[in-house]
Chains A and B, each alone.
Chain A
Amino acid sequence: MADMVALSLAIASTIMAATGMLFFKKAAGAKKTFFSREFFIGGFLFVLGTILMILALKREELSLVFPITSLTYIWVMIFSKIHLNEKINKWKILSVVFIAIGIILAVQ
C-alpha cells in the first residue's frame, strides 16, 4: 500500500505549482513583471510546491510519486481555461494525455 501522506503531499504540490504558474502568467502581463506582486506569489507557490514534492519523495518511491506530477499539466489546462480564458482544443488535451502517460512510463 502506497504511503498516503506522500501521495497527498505530491497532489498538493501539483496544485501549488499549477497555481504558481497561473500567477506567473499574470505577472508576465503586469508592468514591471519581475517586481510584481503576482511574480512573488507565483514564485512562492512554486517553491512551496517543490518543497512538498521533495518531502513526498522522502517518504515514497520515485516511480509512484513522480507520475503524480502529471497532474500539474491537467491543472494548468483547467486553470488556463477558467482564469485566463484560453481555449482548450483536442490538440492540447491530447498533448497532456501523451505527456502524462509518458511520465508514468518513463519512471517505471
Chain B
Amino acid sequence: MVLAMKNEALVVIATLFTAAAQLSFKLGANAQGVYIGPFPVNITVIAGFLAYGIAAMLFLFALRGGQLSVLYPIWSLSFVWVFLVSSLLLKETVTPLNWAGILLIMAGVSLVGRGAKNG
C-alpha cells in the first residue's frame, strides 16, 4: 500500500508525522516525569522520536522513485501544520503577515508538483 501511493503524497503524510513530533516535543519538554540531566524521558517525548522515525522512513520510500528537488520542498508543510495548531489550538498570537507567509508556503508546495511534470 505504501508503494502504491504517489511519492508526493507519502511526503505530505511524513510532514504530518514531523509536525506531530515537534508538537510532542513542545508538550513533553517540561512535563512531569523522569529526566536524564536536562533531557526529559517521558512517553510524549518518546512518541515524538517514533513519529520522526516514521516520517524519515516514509521520506526514504518516497525518494526511491521521486526527485529530491521535487520532494524536499514539500517538507515546508510541516511548518504549516505546526503553525496551524499553534495559532488555532494553542491560541498563540499570529499576524496577518504570518498568515500570508503560510499561504505563500502552500502555494510554493503546490507549484513544485508542476515542477515534477516538466522534468
Contact digits for A36-76, partner B, Cβ 8 Å, 1 yes 0 no: 00010001000000000000000000000000000001001
Cα–Cα distance between A95 and B117 once the two chains are bound (Å): 14
User: DSSP class of B's interface residues: helix, strand, loop or mixed?
Assistant: helix
Chain A proximity of B68: nearest CB distance (Å): 4
Interface size class of B (residues with CB under 8 A): 35 or more
The interface residues of chain A lying within 8 Å CB-to-CB of B109 are: 95, 99
Contact digits for A19-49, partner B, Cβ 8 Å, 1 yes 0 no: 0011011011100011000010001000000
Chain B proximity of A69: nearest CB distance (Å): 9
Quick one: given A25-B68, A28-B64, A80-B67, are A99 and B73 in contact (CB under 8 Å)? yes
Contact digits for B64-97, partner A, Cβ 8 Å, 1 yes 0 no: 1001111011001001000100000000000101
A105, B100: Cβ atoms under 8 Å?
yes
